[in-house]
Amino acid sequence: MDSVRLNQIGAACLFAALAVGASWGVARTAVPEPVPAKPGVAIPHPAAPAGASIDDLVARASVEKGHAIADRQCAMCHSLAPQGPSIIGPALFGVVGTHVGDIPGYEFSDALKTHKDETWNNTTLSTWLKSPADYAPGTKMSFPGIESETERADLIAYLNSLKPEPR
Ligand code: HEC
């Protein structure tokens, strides 16, 4: 056998291997992995697709759950009432849509004021509430953050609802 023939056989084997690999890949993507049933584990928002954006998550979030989270985790430092006072942190009614660190009568840290060109929206709130110290190193909000993106979405949906009734 000459070397050209050997090369042809080699190429044929390689091609076969690639073809098998490719069809395996197609089969793997075409057949969804079975979802393991986890009895007893509550899946809060089954409708949210994996990789959903924070805007999607907020759109599907629960204002009631967010309210409960705020009462538990924010209300000791923040008033959530209309025209509420500053406590340890600034009052949060109507905070969505304002500039960062821009609530009159509250002395913000320089750490937060460096973000004053940004506006509080779903994205900035989610980043801040995930880890205040990462968003604004040196902030005086001593709060570790909320790891669960779903809980942050619920909370943000609640904050979004804190605005005067349209008339
Ligand atoms: C231990 C007290 C404390 C807790 C708990 C706390 N905060 Fe704060 N928060 C602060 C302080 C203090 C600031 C001002 C931070 C600064 O100037 O660096 C602040 C600032 C903020 C701001 C920025 C406001 C603005 O106008 O820029 C938002 C939004 C906020 N907090 C939301 C929350 C939410 C939502 C929770 C509950 C998950 C929460 N905070 C829990 C003390 C707290």
Chain segment 15-55, per-residue pLDDT in tens: 665 565 555 555 555 555 555 555 555 555 556 667 889 99
Q: Is the CB of 140 under 6 A from ligand 1?
A: yes
d(CA 11, CA 80): 70
Q: Which long-range contacts (CB under 8 A, 24 or more apart) does 38-41 make?
A: none
Give residue 56 CA to ligand 1 midpoint distance, Å.
Answer: 24
The angle subtended at Cα 128 by Cα 126 and Cα 130, nearest 5°, is: 65
Q: Is the CB of 88 under 6 A from ligand 1?
A: yes
Most distant pair of Cα atoms in the chain: their distance: 91
Q: Is the CB of 112 under 6 A from ligand 1?
A: yes
d(CA 56, CA 59): 5
pLDDT digits (tens, 9 = 90+) for 120-148: 999 999 999 999 999 999 999 999 999 99
Ligand 1 atom with minimal separation from the 100 CA: 27
